[in-house]
Amino acid sequence: MLGKILKQFASPSALARAGVLSMNRRNRDFIMKYNLRRYYPMVDDKLRTKTLAEQFGVPVAPLIGAIRCQYEVKQFENMIRNRSGGFVIKPGHGSGGRGILVIRRHSGNSFEKNDGTLLDRVQIHRVITDILSGLYSLGGQVDYALLEECIDFSDVFRNYSYQGIPDVRVIVFRGYPVMAMIRLATKQSDGRANLHQGAVGIGLSLRNGVPRMAVQFNQPVSRHPDTGVPLRDLRVPFWKEHLELAARCADMIQLGYFGADIVLDRKRGPLLLELNARPGLAIQIANHAGLAARLERIEQLDPASHPTPEERVAFAREQFA
Amino acid sequence: MLRVFAPDRRIVLLVSALVLIALSILYFKVHVLKFTLLPSPETELWLLECRVKFETPGGPVRASISMPEEVPGYFLTGVSTTPGFRFDSEERDGRLIANWSGTADGGTHTILYQMRLIPDRHAGRIADPIEPVRKPVWSDGITAAAAEAFLKQLDPGGRAKPEVLIPRVLKELHNRNLPSVRTLLPENRQGAHFVRIAGKLLAMRGIPSRLVEGIYLVDGRRRQMLSAQLEAFYGNRIHRFDPLTGKLRTADGFLPLRNGDTSLLEIQGVRNPKFHISVLKTSVTAANLNQLRGSLVRHSWILDLSGFNLPLEEQNLFKQIAMLPLAILVIVIIRNLIGLQTMGTFMPVLISLAFLDTGLTAGIISFVLIISIGLLIRSCLTKLNLLMVPRISAVVILVILLMKIMSVIAYTFGFTHGQAVTYFPLIILAWTIERSSMIWEEDGPRVAVRQLLVSLLACLPCYLLMSNATLQCFFFSFPEMNLIVLALILLIGVYTGYRLTELKRFRPLVLPCSEKF
C-alpha cells in the first residue's frame, strides 16, 4: 500500500539529476532575480506589449481598437462594421486565456463564436462589460477590452487542434530560447491552449521544431484526443523565425525570464500573441527534459557573447537539441 | 547535487538573530522569572482577601496594610478593589505596603485588598534571622522568681535539649494548677501574649525565639484571625511550634505574615477598625499563572513587550492572535513545501479562526451550507448580467441573510450553536463564493469543488493547532516563540527545492521516454 503510493513520487535527487526546475526555484532564482517588478506592465498590459512590438518590428495580430469605458461598449459595432473577417475580444490584463472571445464570422446582429454557437449584440456587450469591470484581470482591477483581428491560422495545423489556435510557447532566458512546445486545444480544454485545462502539449526540439513527445494532463499521448491525428507527424514551418521572434522580444522588454506565445498566420507568418512573465513548468514534461540545466548553462555565459537574436538562436539550436 | 536552500548571508544572520533572541527571552523567563514551560493545564492559586471594616465620623482617612513580599513557597501580589480611596502601593524592606487615603463620609466603610499567592518553590527560602538571646526583663521580682521555679520544675538539671524543652514549656504553660503559671499569666491570655511569655522563658535557657503571626491556607476559611506561633532557632535552623499544643509544626499551610513588631494594619481617623483575612482557593491555567508571574516583575522591558501589563481583557484578545502565526506557518508549508493551492492565501486561517468559536463540526456544516447555497444563488445572479462590484456586493448581502436564516433555524430546532454562524468572516465567504463560481464556470465543477475541499482541508491543521490548549498556553506565555515561527517562514522563503506535489507531477521526467510516441 505504502510502497504503491511512494511509487507515484519521484525522489528529489532523481529530479535534480534530471535537471527539473521546481516552482520555488523558478520563482526565487529566475523570476525574482531576472524580472524586475516595474517591467511587468510591459507584458501584463497587452496594449503596451503590442505597441512595443510594433516599435521593435516584432509582428503581432493587427489591432482593431480598445474599449476603456462603459459608455464606449456600444461603439464596438462601429469598430467592426466594415470588417468582414473574424475578430477577437480580450481583456487587456487577462491571463491564462481567460475572458477571450473569438468571433469567427459576423453579420448584422449575429456573431458566430469559434465553436459555432451564435451570440447576439447584447451578449457581446456583456462580455465587454465583464472585462471592463475587471473580472478577468489580475487582482480584479479595472480593465479595458482589446479588439484585434482574428488570426487566420495556417492550414498546416488544421487537424491538430479542436477549435482553438495552436500556439508555440518558447521560454526565453536572457535572450536565448531555452525550451519550446506547441499547445493544441482539445474538447476537454474547451478550445483553450492551457495545459492544466486539458490542452495537449508537444515538446519541440529547439534545433528543428520536430516533436519530441506529447502529453495531456501530464500523461503521454500519441494522437490528438479529438481528431485522432498522430501528433508525431506535426511540423512547425518557419521554425527559425519562431525562435528569432521570441529572442527579439527579449530586446524589447527588460525581462530576463519569460514565455513568448507565438501563432502562425497563414499570410503573415509567426505573430507574437502575448508574453508571459511567469511561464509555467509543464513545458518540461512535454519535452521530457528539465529546464534547470539549460538555464544554468545560459547563466554561465558572458552576456556579451551573442549580441544579436540570430546569434542567440543559433547558439540555442546548437546547444539544446 | 540538490541545491535546496539558497540562503544568502543576510537571511542566515536574520534567522539566527531571531532564534537567538527568542531563545534568550525564553531562557530568561524560565530560569529567572520561573515561568512554567510545559505545565499541567490547571494549577491551584490561593487568594487572600484582606478586609478592613471601620466607622468614621467623616473626614480624612488613612490606612495601610503591610504584607510580606514573599513567604515560604509563594510570592505575593495585591490589588485594591476599593473604590473611593486613592490607592498606591510600594515595596519596602521586603514588604508590600498598600496605602489608601481619602476623605470618607460618616458611617461604616470597608477597604478590600485582594492578594494572590503565586507558587514558587524558591520563594521565601531565606527567613529573617532570629535575633540572639537578650536577657529577659520581668516586671517584678515575684514574676522572675515564678519563671525560675517554672523552669526548674520542668528541667531541674538545666540540660534538656531545645527540641525537648520547647514543647514542654508550651504545654506546661497551659497548666493552671501550677502556681508559677498563674503568676506568669495571671489573665490566662492566649495568642501573642502567651507566645511572648514562652519566649522569655526560653531566653532564660539561652534559646533564641520569636513570635510570628499568620494565617492558615484552608480553602473557604472566611474571616480568619491572625494565629500566633513561636519560632525558635536551634540546630542551625528555625523551628516553628504551635503554642496551643506545644507541637513542632511543618508544612501545615501556615502562612507567616509578620514577626516581631511589624504591624499589618495602620489606620488613622477611624473608630473601631476590624481586620479580617479570608482565604480562597481557585484554579488557574498555567498561562494565567505565567501572566501573574509576569505582572510580579516590574520594570522589565521584556515583560512589557510580552504584554503582561496590558489590561486582562486585552490580554485575552491577544491570546488568539498569538496563535495566528502558527496557522500562517501551516499555510506556508501547505503552499510552498506541499504545493497545494488553496482558495485565497489566508482564507483557511480566517475560516479556522471562525471554527474556534463555532466548534469544528458545527463550523464545517455551516461553512459547507453557506458556500453551497451561496453558489446556487450566485449562479442565478450570473444570468442577470450584473457588473462585478454590484454582483459581489449582492453576494455579501445574501450571505448576511443566509447567516441570519441559519441562526433562526438552528435556534428553532434547539441547536444553540446557531448563532455561532456570525463568527464567519463575511467578506471572505462572499469572495470564496465568487471565486469558486468563476472557477466552476471556467474550469468546471470538479476543479472548483476540489479547490474548496483543499481549502477546507487546510483549515483542519490550522484549527487543531490553534485550538490546542497546551500550545495556546505556551504561545501566550512565550509570545517570543513567534520569532521562531517567523524564522521558519523566512527559511521556507529561501527554499528552492521541490514541493511534494512536484515529486508526483514531474515523475514522468525521471522515467524513460515513452515508447508510444
Tens of pLDDT, residue by residue over A65-124, are 899 988 888 888 888 887 878 889 999 988 777 788 888 888 888 888 877 888 888 888
Domain shared by A139 and A160, yes or no: no
Chain B residue closest in CA terms to A100: B442
Query: What is the overall mean pLDDT for chain B?
Result: 81
Confidence band for B1, pLDDT divided at 50, 70 and 90: very low
CA distance A221 to chain B (A): 7
**A52 located within any domain:** no
How far off is chain B from A285, nearest CA to CA, in Å? 6
Q: Is B220 helix (H, G, I), strand (E, B) or coil?
A: coil
Least-confidence region, from A60-64, A72-76, B245-249, B294-298 = B294-298
User: According to the model, what pLDDT value does residue B302 have?
Assistant: 56
CATH assignment at residue A113: 3.30.1490
Does one domain contain both A176 and A78?
Answer: no
Query: Cβ(A115)–Cβ(A163) under 8 Å?
Result: yes
In this structure, the answer to whether residues A302 and A224 fall within a common structural domain is yes
Interval A295-312 mean pLDDT: 91
Q: How far apart are CA B20 and CA B15, in angstroms?
A: 8
- B467 vs A96, higher pLDDT: B467
Q: Is B8 helix (H, G, I), strand (E, B) or coil?
A: coil
Residue B477 pLDDT more than 90? no
User: Is the CB of residue B85 less than 8 Å from the CB of residue B72?
Assistant: no
Torsion angle of the four alpha carbons B169, B173, B179, B182, in this order, in degrees rounded to the nearest 10: 140
How confident is the model over A162-185, as a mean pLDDT? 92
Which of A41-55, B36-50, B270-284, B343-357 has maximum average pLDDT?
A41-55
Q: Is the Cβ pair B509, A11 closer than 8 Å? A: no
Confidence of residue B298 (pLDDT cuts 50, 70, 90): low
Report the alpha-carbon distance of residue B288 to residue B294 in Å, rounded.
9
Question: Quick one: A33 and A176 in the same domain?
Answer: yes
Is residue A94 situated within a structural domain? yes
Domain membership flag for residue A57? no
Mean pLDDT within B303-311: 57
Q: Which of B2, B387, B508 sits opposite A16 (nearest CB)?
A: B2
Domain membership of residue A309 (yes or no) is yes
Flag if A9 and B443 touch (Cβ within 8 Å): no
Q: What is the mean pLDDT of residues A221-237?
A: 89
**In this predicted model, which residue has the larger pLDDT, A200 or B389?**
A200
Write the single-letter amino acid at A190. Answer: D
A145 and A174 housed in the same domain: no
User: Could you name the CATH architecture of B141-259?
Assistant: Roll (3.10)
Instruction: Specify the pLDDT at position B416.
Output: 56
How far is A25 from A295, CA to CA, in rounded Å? 11
Asked if pLDDT for residue B56 goes beyond 90, the answer is no
Q: Tell me if A25 is assigned to some domain.
A: yes
Q: Is A279 found in the same domain as A205?
A: yes
A130, A217: one domain: no
| Least confident span in A228-237, A308-317, B293-302, B333-342 | B293-302
Residue A8 C-alpha, separation from nearest chain B C-alpha, in angstroms: 6
Do A144 and A175 lie in a common domain? no
For residue B489, list chain A residues with Cβ-Cβ distance below 8 A: none
Q: Which residue of B has its CA nearest to A290?
A: B509
Kindly list the residues from chain A whose CB atom is less than 8 angstroms away from the CB atom of residue B499: 22-24
Q: Does the beta-carbon distance from A215 to B513 stay under 8 Å?
A: no
pLDDT band of B303, cuts 50, 70, 90: low
User: CB distance A10–B339 less than 8 Å?
Assistant: no
> What pLDDT was estimated at residue B503?
93
pLDDT score of B2 more than 50: no
Q: Find the mean pLDDT for residues B377-404.
A: 82
For A25, the closest of B496, B500, B510 (CB atoms) is B496
CB A206 within 8 A of CB A180: yes
Q: Find which of B336, B341, B509 to mutate to test the A interface (most A CBs within 10 Å of its CB).
A: B509
Residue B309 has pLDDT above 60, yes or no: no
pLDDT score at B334: 94
Residue A182's pLDDT is 94
Mean pLDDT taken over chain A = 88
Sequence-ordered alpha helix ranges (H) in A71-149:
76-80, 121-132
- pLDDT tens digits for range B482-496: 999 999 999 999 898
A115, A162, B111 from A227: Cα distances, Å? 15, 8, 93
Rounded to the nearest angstrom, the minimum Cα separation between B376 and chain A is: 19
Please determine, for residue A317, whether its predicted confidence score (pLDDT) is greater than 90: yes
Q: Enter the C-alpha cell of residue B408.
A: 433562526
The residue written with cell numbers 525562435 in the block is A243
Domain stops at, among A101, A122, A149 = A149
Decide if A24 and B504 are in contact by the 8 Å CB cutoff. Answer: no
Q: Do A77 and A203 share a domain, yes or no?
A: no
Sign of the Cα torsion B447, B450, B456, B460 reads negative
Among A217-226, B153-162, B170-179, B483-492, top mean pLDDT goes to B483-492
Instruction: State the total domains in chain A.
Output: 2
Q: Is the pLDDT of residue B264 over 50?
A: yes
Interface test with B, best of A21, A23, A71, A202 (most B CBs within 10 A): A23
Residue that is last in its domain, among A149, A176, A206 = A149
Note whether A197 contacts B: Cβ–Cβ < 8 A. Answer: yes
CB contact under 8 A, B517 and A133: no
- Residue in chain B lying closest to A230 (CA): B517
Residues of A in contact with B3 (CB under 8 A): 16
- Confidence at B138, pLDDT banded by 50, 70, 90: confident
Residue A306 maps to a domain? yes
Of the ranges A107-111, B28-32, B396-400, which one carries the lowest mean pLDDT score? B28-32
Chain A segment 29-68 residues within 8 A of B by beta carbon are 29
Torsion angle defined by CA atoms of residues B381, B382, B385 and B386, in that order, rounded to the nearest 10 degrees:
50
pLDDT digits (tens, 9 = 90+) for B445-457: 888 898 899 999 9
- A296 shares a domain with A203: yes
Q: B490 to chain A nearest CA, in Å?
A: 13
Between chain A and chain B, the number of residue pairs with CB atoms below 8 A apart is 107
pLDDT level of residue A290 (50, 70, 90 thresholds): very high
In chain B, % of residues over pLDDT 90:
12
Out of A23, A129, A285, the one facing B508 most closely (by C-beta) is A285
List the A269-276 sheet strands across, edge first: A219-221, A211-216, A200-204, A176-184, A167-173, A257-265, A269-276
In chain A, whose CA is at the least distance from the CA of B498?
A: A22
Q: A30 near A257, Cβ under 8 Å?
A: yes
Residues of chain A neighbouring B514 (CB-CB closer than 8 A) = 213, 220, 288
> Could you tell me which chain B residue has the CA closest to the CA of A233?
B517
Note whether A15 and A129 are same-domain residues.
Answer: no
Alpha-carbon gap: B508 to the closest alpha carbon of chain A (Å): 7
- Name residue A101's beta-bridge partners: A89
What are the tens digits of pLDDT across the range B421-430? 666 777 888 8
Q: What secondary structure does DSSP assign to B319-373, as a single string?
A: HHHTTHHHHHHHHHIIIIII-PPPSSTTHHHHHHHHHHHH-HHHHHHHHHHHHHH
pLDDT on residue A20: 93
Contact A16/B496, CB-based, under 8 Å? no
For position A263, which CATH number holds?
3.30.470.20
User: Which residue range(s) make up the domain with A206?
Assistant: 10-43+155-319
pLDDT level of residue B41 (50, 70, 90 thresholds): low
Which chain A residues are closer than 8 Å to B381 by Cβ? none
Report the pLDDT value the prediction gives residue B160, as an integer from 0 to 100.
Answer: 81
Region of residue B300 (left: phi > 0; alpha: psi -120 to 50; beta: else): beta
Distance from CA of B382 to the nearest CA of A (A): 11
Q: Final residue of a domain: which of A101, A130, A149? A: A149
Please check whether residues A145 and A159 belong to one and the same domain: no
Q: Which residues of B touch A218 (CB under 8 A)?
A: 505, 508
Nearest CA to A172 out of A232, A229, A236, A251 is that of A251
